[in-house]
Structures are given as structure tokens and as C-alpha cells.
Amino acid sequence: MNNNFEMFTRRAVNSIETAIEAASQMGHTYVGTEHIILGFVQEGGNIAASVLKSNNITLNDIYDQMVLFIGKGEKTHLTYDNFTPALRRIFNSAAAAAESSGTKLVGTEHIFMSLLKEPGCGAMSFLRAMGANPAKLYNDCAGAYTGEIPAEVLKYSQPDRKQIPTLYKYGKSLTEEALERKHDPLIGREKEIERVLQILARRNKNNPCLIGEAGVGKTAIVEGLAQIFVSGKVPDELKNKNIFSLDLTAMLAGAKYRGDFEERIKTCIEEVINVGNVILFIDEIHSIVGAGAAEGAIDAANIIKPQLARGEIQIIGATTIEEYRKNIEKDSALERRFQPVLISEPDEDQTFNILKGLREQYENYHNVIISDEVIKSAVNLSVRYINDRFLPDKAIDIIDEAASKAKIRGARKESSREKNDVLQMTDEFITLESIEKAFKKKSKNSVLRPVKITVDDTAGVVSEWTGIPVKSISKDEESKLLNLESNLRKRVIGQEKAVSAIAKAIRRSRTGLKEPNKPIGSFIFMGPTGVGKTELSKAAAEFIFDSERNLIKIDMSEYMEKHSVSKLIGAPPGYAGFDESGTLTDKIRRKPYCVLLFDEIEKAHPEVLNILLQILEDGVLTDSKGRKTDFKNTLIILTSNIGSELMSESVRLGFGENNDSDVNSKVKSELKRQLKPELINRLDEIVIFKPLEKGDLNAITVKMLNELKERAEKIGIKLNFDSNVPDELINESEVKKYGARYIKRSVSEKIENLISQQLLEGHINKGEEIEVIYDEGEFKLASPLVYNTNPS
């Protein structure tokens, strides 16, 4: 046997190279059969590794046996020349077995089955020592091999590259890749595969077109079809057929002159006709419409139509529903030559089975362990939180990234462990023996320890993608949720009922008890201006969603016209701005976890309010382009001044609780008169903010003065206030009209203006302590200097 492995599969060659590297790392002077089984398992994703794993033989077991029986030394540099005679003999035997079975390429199963026929080789000794049954291993491998590529492959023939050079230049053979097991296994989709086979076996119009949303598995179905073709489990008309994936982009690239592209595609078609056993697969087949078209040139669709009509070539296409309607349905001559096969999104159970089928590939690639629980969480989380993509693609991506995350975490732990080992050695008397022991331990652990993926890993990936806290509630967050009311009350004073309603909704959401298809909560805040409606919305964004930036405010006074609904969801087709996305849908798509505030809802046109019905009922909103935006992780607050006059009129000193109830009842009646009942009925709660009382006003004033004090400290001024300052800032008649906003204005006009003036005139220096007092009907600054604010 020479060192030419061209006739070996990619996985077989990778396993051999891994075996050479492992032998070198362990300081061995040869590469033997025992290293090959280590290479199979460490490389993973091959039949030999699957058989060993199913017989409970792990990487750790093989490594331990090698250290025990062979030992470990300093790193060596080994090559193909260092194969043992037994290993060379096994390679020769494997090549002969592959040839006799009619398979052109030697796979790991051929090598492993040939190895199991050598009872005296090192690998067999190791396998017996690990309690394995060689006969069972051989039968399992034979069964796996014949199950994956049965005897029909024997006669399976690939076309000669010299006959179809253009096809190989601008495409790739999916059946060849299936022979080399480069594709992931296809799980399920039996009905779709059966339908495609039926169309391919027809006499006329035998060109299937797979139509489905991005990520539902159209390309995977064609790859699975290639695996079925090489297995021979197809009608006689389709035996020995080869599926070639054609890359139109590659064909267009570099076509500088008119006629270059047409010549390339015509050459490809002629090669397909001449060979006679090639089926073309064109992914994104809608791109053939207009591809290569220029002034005086013909596009790809018109070039292939005659051959399709005569049945000289067969094409499998794949495209999305939208692109099919836009490009192929419009061309009736092209459409009638294809038979549509709708590929629907798999449900959660089907996706779970698909992920279970793919689990081994991801475990081997990332060196991780993926449990059924992790797979189930990936499927459930993708369905609940990722609504702009489709199964199984989005669930597979979660598993892939979670595995990557776990792998990096494991590598960091390993690195930290190694560092601690070295630090520990420096505290001891270092001998050659202790160093050797440390490095043996390092080598063994670093190579062979798989990391277990947890449900928190998948939740963390979804959180990173969406910004939504999906992980289980930590102790810190638990405390934050329990103390939510007290934190909100520090910022919103005097509105206990409103604060309690918001806090309850958030707790329901984070504990997973809220209705899954509705927003976190939906409230309408009613009351006169300045009582804290907008402030509570801001406070909720800060305490619950971590920042006031997570408040999206829509001022409904901008939507007083019927047509202004297009600003929120985008303009309909045929109108100016159709290409632009809507203000509301765009913002929520970018920031799905937020407080959504519709301010002064009564000012909007009734037609605009109709979009709220869909949001509040189903937690989604469909924009003008048909895309669904998810509102299930938003807290929706509507504010309204309806009935505020009634509340203002009823405010008088010492009025009782019964009057409160009467006023609230009148306000609700006014609300029902102005807003549609179907909108009110969809809200979780109507929260009426009461007018602020004297004690509330004093507390708000003190809060605002403390905030000013903190701002002054940042510029180096220590600010104090005399005890009568808060009372003097409150003008009760004005406060009744304008609420806390008047107090804010009063602090700004009477105190902030005063301090800034004296700062600019040089009367106050940084580092000084000053006090604001009220004397002789005006606010003054005292200490360390007392001076007249209006010198004559």
C-alpha cells in the first residue's frame, strides 16, 4: 500500500491524520491499529465512531488503555511512513473490500471491518481489554454500513469528469457527496420525498420545484434525495441518476462579454443531455428569471425552456413562496414545466426528532453532550421567542451556538485548571517525575473531556439573539421582582394601584405564568396631566427592562388622520414609501423586550386604533408586506386624559372614598363612550390615577430637590435646602391644573436659574457649600456668603 489516499473518503482520511497526530502527541514512535480506533472516535461523524459509541467505548477508555499499555513520552513527529505493517495490511484489505463491493471510495467502515478481521493486532487487544465483543462490533458495523449504503451502491456509477467538465466547474455532485457521507442525515419528510420521486419518475413535466419558507429544509430534502439515490431505493428509471447542484452565481461571475453566460449554460445543458443520467438542482431557482439578461441577450430561463419542454433535461428547483409568485408564476411558460411541491414548516415534535437525528454530528464536532432536555428546550424557546424564522433551522442554530458556547466554557475551565496545576507545582519540590505526572494529566484531560450543554446554555443563546431574559430566575432577579413595588414607588409617588398592577404583570411574565400568545401586560392609564402616567412607564422600563432606552413612545397626536396608520405598519403596495418599514413594527423588531407607550390615545383616529386589536389579542401585528412582528414580550401601556376634567372638578379638601368611587365610575363611562368596546375588552386593566394630594406633592418636591442636589455635587457644589423651600415651591392652584409638571417647572425657574446665574457671575466657586432659603417672598442663596439676589 502506498501513501496515496485519494480513494479514501474525507472522513477516513481525517481519521487517519487524527491518529497520526495523536500518536505524535503521546510520544509514540509508530502509528498502529490502536491509534486508528482513537482517530475514528476523536474525529467522529463516521460509521466506525458510531459503532464504537453504541458499544459504550469512549475516547477516555481508549486513551486510558494506550497510556496503560504503551505509556507516554515526549512529542515525536510521525508521518505516513511510520505505519506498522499490520496497519498497512488493513488498509490494503479495506481497499480490496471497497472495490469488491463496487464502492469507489474506502470509508471508515471498510477500515474498521478489516481491522476486526485481524485478531492479533493491537487494537483488538485494547478492545477486548475494554470488554468489547469483536464479533458484535463487526456485525454492528456491517449492519450500519449496509443500512446506510446498501448493496445497490455496488453498481452505482458516477459520470466521468472528462465528460462533464463544465458541470464540475460550475457545480458539484450531491450524489458524490452522499457517497462520501458529507451530508447530514435526513430525518422525516417521507411524504415530500415520495412526492418528489413520483414527479421525477413521470414521463413528462418531471421537474419538481420545492416551495417553502427559508429554513424549513428544502436543500436538506434534496441532499436526502441524493442519499436515497446512492442507496438504490428508487424506481428503475431513476437508478444511476446523479444530482448536480448548479451554481448560477459562479456561471455569471467573470462573464465579461455578451454571450459568455449563454455559452456556459448551453454547454452545461449539452453535457447533461450527452451523459443522460444527470438531474440538475438549482437552489433559489427564481434567480434564473433575468439571470444573464442584458440588451440583446437571453436570460437563463428562456435558454432552458426548450430542453425542459422536450424532456431532454430534468431540473429540481427550490425557492420561497414569495419569490415563486413574484418570478415563476408570472412566466406561465416556465411555471407549467415545473410541478410545485410545498414544503411546510415541521411542527415541534417533528423538529425534536430532526434534532435527535442530528445530535451525533454536533456532539462529535463540538465535543459536547446534548441531552433530550436540551433539544426540547431549543425547540420550545425557538418557537416562543424567535418568530421571524422557521423550524427546524432556528432550533438547529440554537443547538449549534449553545454547543459552541459550552465548548468555549470548557476550554476556559481547562485552561484555568492547568494554570492552577502549574501554580501548585511551584509550591512543591519539583522533580522530573512530578512534571511528567502533571503533563500526563493535562494531556489526558484536555483531549478527552466532553462538555455537557445545559438548558441555560440554550436560554442564554436566545437571550443574546433577542435581548429577552429567558434564563431561569437568579437570586438577584428574584429579589428584584419581589421588591418591584417598593422600587417603583420611590420614583412614582402616590399611585399605589397603578404600581401594583404593573408589578403583578411583570412577575407573571418572568415566572412563565402569563398567557404565551399575549403581551406581558396591557393597561390604560387614565388621569389628569402630571400625575405620573408617563413617569410610571419610564420607571417600568428602567427597573424591569434595565434602561429607559427600552421605552418606545408613540405620540398618538401624530396619528389623527385615517391614512397615518401607514406610518406605523408601512404603506400598502402602490403607495409612496412601500419599500420603507413601519415605525412601530421596525422598532419592535429591533427591540422586542420593552415598554411600548401609546401616549394620549384619544387623539388618534379610530382606524389607527384598530391595529391595537391584533396586538392585544394575539401578540402579533402584520405589516403592509405581510411580515409578522411579535409583541409577546412587550409591556403595552396606553395613556389617556379622558375624564380628567371630571377628576379636576372633584378635587377638594377632605372629599371621601365614596366620591372617589363615583368619579372613577364616571371616568370609565366616558372612556367607554369614546373608545370602542372591543379595544377596552382586550385590556388587562383600566388604571385610574388619582389627583395628587398635599403629602404626595411635598414628597415629589423633595425628590426633585434631591435630584438637583445630586447634579450639583457632580459639578463640585454641595447644595442644601431650608426646611420651608418645598412648601414655597408648591402653588396649589397651579398644581391642581398641571400636577407634578408644575413642580418641575417651578424648581427649574426658581432655583436652577438662580444657581446657574450666580455660578456664571462668579459668586459661587466649586467646592463651596451653599444653602437655598426662602426669605422676604423670594428664593435666595446663603452660606458661605449671604448676598442680595437683586442688588440695586
DSSP assignment of 40-80: HHHH-SSHHHHHHHHTT--HHHHHHHHHHHT---S-----G
- DSSP state at residue 763: S
Residues 353-372 pLDDT 10s: 999 888 888 888 888 889 99
Question: Residues of the chain with pLDDT > 70: what percent?
Answer: 85
Pairing of strands 769-775, 778-782: antiparallel
Give the pLDDT score at 787: 40
Could you tell me the domains of the chain? 10-148 (1.10.1780.10), 155-342 (3.40.50.300), 349-466 (1.10.8.60), 476-688 (3.40.50.300), 694-782 (1.10.8.60)
- DSSP state at residue 599: E
Cα separation, 285 vs 576, whole angstroms: 30
Is cis: bond before 784, omega within 30 of 0?
Answer: yes
Cα separation, 716 vs 736, whole angstroms: 36
Q: Which of 482, 597, 606 is nearest to 533 (CA)?
A: 597
Give the pLDDT score at 628: 82
Single-letter residue type at 553: K
pLDDT higher than threshold 50 for residue 228: yes
Single-letter residue type at 386: I
Cα separation, 227 vs 61, whole angstroms: 33
Question: Residues of the chain with pLDDT > 90: what percent?
Answer: 10
Residues 253-274 pLDDT 10s: 877 777 788 888 888 888 888 8
Backbone angles phi, psi at 638, to 5 degrees: -105, 135
Residues 104-151 pLDDT 10s: 678 888 898 888 888 778 888 888 888 888 877 887 787 665 444 443
Count CA atoms within 13 Å of residue 130 on its CB side: 27
- Three-class DSSP category at 164: coil
User: Average pLDDT for residues 55-73, to the nearest whole number?
Assistant: 82
The band of 575, judged by pLDDT with boundaries at 50, 70 and 90, is: low
Q: Cell for 752? A: 436652577
**Residue count (the chain):** 792
Q: Cell for 783? A: 452660606
Residue 380 burial class via C-beta count within 10 angstroms: exposed 0-12, middle 13-18, buried 19 and up: middle
* Contact yes or no for 38/66 (Cβ under 8 A): yes
The alpha-carbon radius of gyration of the chain (Å, integer) is 37
Q: Which of 27, 26, 29, 30 is nearest to 42 (CA)?
A: 26
β-sheet with 769-775: strand ranges across: 718-721, 769-775, 778-782
Give the pLDDT score at 99: 80
Where is average pLDDT lowest: 176-185, 340-349, 607-616?
176-185
Give the pLDDT score at 571: 66
Give the pLDDT score at 443: 46
Q: Which of 119, 114, 133 is nearest to 48 (CA)?
A: 114
Q: Which of 173, 186, 185 is nearest to 242 (CA)?
A: 173
- DSSP state at residue 106: B
User: Average pLDDT for residues 194-198, to the nearest whole number?
Assistant: 92
- Three-class DSSP category at 718: strand
- Three-class DSSP category at 386: coil
Q: Cell for 99? A: 472495490
* Contact yes or no for 650/597 (Cβ under 8 A): no
DSSP codes joined into one string, 191-225: HHHHHHHHHHTSSSS--EEEE--TTSSHHHHHHHH
Give the pLDDT score at 423: 53
* Contact yes or no for 35/126 (Cβ under 8 A): no
* Contact yes or no for 330/291 (Cβ under 8 A): no
Residues 420-454 pLDDT 10s: 555 555 554 455 455 455 544 544 444 446 788 99
Cα separation, 357 vs 255, whole angstroms: 42
- DSSP state at residue 30: S
Q: Residue 538 CB: number of other CB atoms within 10 A?
A: 18
Cα separation, 674 vs 432, whole angstroms: 88
Give the pLDDT score at 520: 85
- Alpha-carbon separation of residue 48 from 37, 110, 135 (angstroms): 8, 9, 14
Give the pLDDT score at 435: 47
Count CA atoms within 13 Å of residue 85 on its CB side: 1
Where is average pLDDT lowest: 330-344, 460-474, 667-681, 731-745?
731-745
**283 vs 117, more confident:** 283
* Contact yes or no for 650/667 (Cβ under 8 A): no
Average pLDDT, the chain: 80
Cα separation, 361 vs 351, whole angstroms: 16
- Alpha-carbon separation of residue 36 from 63, 72, 81, 174, 175 (angstroms): 12, 17, 15, 28, 28
Give the pLDDT score at 379: 94
pLDDT higher than threshold 80 for residue 298: no
pLDDT higher than threshold 80 for residue 777: no
User: Average pLDDT for residues 19-37, to the nearest whole number?
Assistant: 89
* Contact yes or no for 558/769 (Cβ under 8 A): no
Q: Residue 73 CB: number of other CB atoms within 10 A?
A: 11
Give the pLDDT score at 447: 46
Cα separation, 562 vs 47, whole angstroms: 65
* Contact yes or no for 595/506 (Cβ under 8 A): no
Cα separation, 418 vs 361, whole angstroms: 29
Q: Which of 383, 404, 384 is nearest to 453 (CA)?
A: 404
Q: Cell for 788? A: 442680595
Pairing of strands 620-622, 628-630: antiparallel
Backbone angles phi, psi at 45, to 5 degrees: 70, 20
Cα separation, 115 vs 86, whole angstroms: 9
Q: Which residues, listed in sequence order, are joined to residue 553 by a DSSP beta bridge? A: 597
Is cis: bond before 392, omega within 30 of 0?
Answer: yes
Give the pLDDT score at 449: 66
Single-letter residue type at 587: K
Residues 529-569 pLDDT 10s: 888 888 888 888 887 777 788 889 988 888 888 877 777 87
Residue 31 C-alpha from the chain's centroid: 43
Residue 666 burial class via C-beta count within 10 angstroms: exposed 0-12, middle 13-18, buried 19 and up: middle
Q: Which residues, listed in sequence order, are joined to residue 621 by a DSSP beta bridge? A: 629
Residue 401 C-alpha from the chain's centroid: 9
Give the pLDDT score at 373: 92
Residue 32 C-alpha from the chain's centroid: 44
Give the pLDDT score at 607: 82
Please give the model's pTM, rounded to 2 decimal places: 0.67
Cα separation, 195 vs 218, whole angstroms: 13
- Alpha-carbon separation of residue 580 from 565, 570, 584, 586, 624 (angstroms): 14, 6, 12, 10, 10
Give the pLDDT score at 654: 45
Cα separation, 392 vs 185, whole angstroms: 14
Q: Cell for 605? A: 383616529
Q: Residue 23 CB: number of other CB atoms within 10 A?
A: 24
- Three-class DSSP category at 758: helix
User: Average pLDDT for residues 658-679, to the nearest whole number?
Assistant: 78
